[in-house]
Amino acid sequence: MEELSRVLSKKSNIPQILLGVCTAIFLGAYLFFGRDLVLATKALVYSSAVALLVSGLFFRQSMRRNDWLILSATLIFGTMTIVFDNEVFIQWRTTIVNILIAVGLVGMFYLKKSPIKMIFGKALDIELPEHEWLRTNLWWAAYMLVMAGLNAVIILLGLSSEVWMSFKMVINPLLTFVLAILLMVHLVKKGKQYEAKKRAEVEVEDGQNHRLNEREQSKE
């Protein structure tokens, strides 16, 4: 409970919490109201509109670009789903958002910025060369493109909304969790190797300085 209180007390977490609430409402509406994806989309759009309004008014400084992207895309594609009474629009939202995130990650790679470092660097308390952090941008970008492609395949094959929801709400989060765990393990391993390398370099440098001092003393 104390940990939950700390999380809730941080304003920077509120937009992400609201996104989670919107997702829970969407899933609940789908599961408990006839597995109607259009109806669930209505619940998602209404809750997302409230989340966007609250976040924009009170937590604007805490909103990340991804938060704006996800909420805006939800409102656009969700509204199209409701207006045309066609669930395919909200399904394509996942592919479009994933592609945009992948493009953003690649762009940040060339700008020498790593959001992964911001997330995992402090959490794992590890130090790595900048190129190692930047490389994770490309890994996540590749993953987002794979997920975008799988989502597109499900839609183009005309599979049922049950299959799409299983992919969206179960398979996708599960694979993301697994990738995050593997990434953390990899980063921790790399961090230990980097620390060991730095210590070895310091020891070599100290040894060289010590020998140099001995030579100077012997000359005296």
57-92 tens-digit pLDDT = 887 777 777 888 888 999 999 999 999 999 999 999
Split at pLDDT 50, 70, 90, the class of 149 is very high
What pLDDT shows up at residue 12? Answer: 58
Q: Are 75 and 92 in a shared domain?
A: no
- Provide the whole-model pTM: 0.80
One DSSP character per residue, 142-197 reads: HHHHHHHHHHHHHHHTT--HHHHHHIIIIIHHHHHHHHHHHHHHHHHHHHHHHHHH
Domain range for residue 167? 87-220
Q: Which of 156, 44, 153, 142 is nearest to 101 (CA)?
A: 142
Asked if 109 and 125 count as a contact pair (C-beta separation under 8 A), the reply is no
Total count of domains within the chain: 2
Q: Are 142 and 46 in a shared domain?
A: no
Angle CA 88–91–93, to nearest 5: 115
CA distances from 44 to 24, 70, 95 (A): 9, 12, 17
CA distances from 220 to 7, 213, 216 (A): 64, 11, 6
Q: Are 145 and 60 in a shared domain?
A: no
Split at pLDDT 50, 70, 90, the class of 18 is confident
What pLDDT shows up at residue 5? Answer: 45
What pLDDT shows up at residue 196? Answer: 77
- The mean pLDDT of 199-210, rounded to a whole number, is 60
Rounded to whole angstroms, the Cα distance separating 184 from 178 reads 10
Q: Are 20 and 123 in a shared domain?
A: no
Alpha helices (runs of H) in the chain, residue ranges in sequence order:
2-9, 14-32, 37-58, 65-84, 88-110, 115-116, 122-124, 130-156, 161-166, 172-219
What pLDDT shows up at residue 207? Answer: 55
Q: Are 63 and 92 in a shared domain?
A: no
Q: Is the pLDDT of residue 6 over 50?
A: no
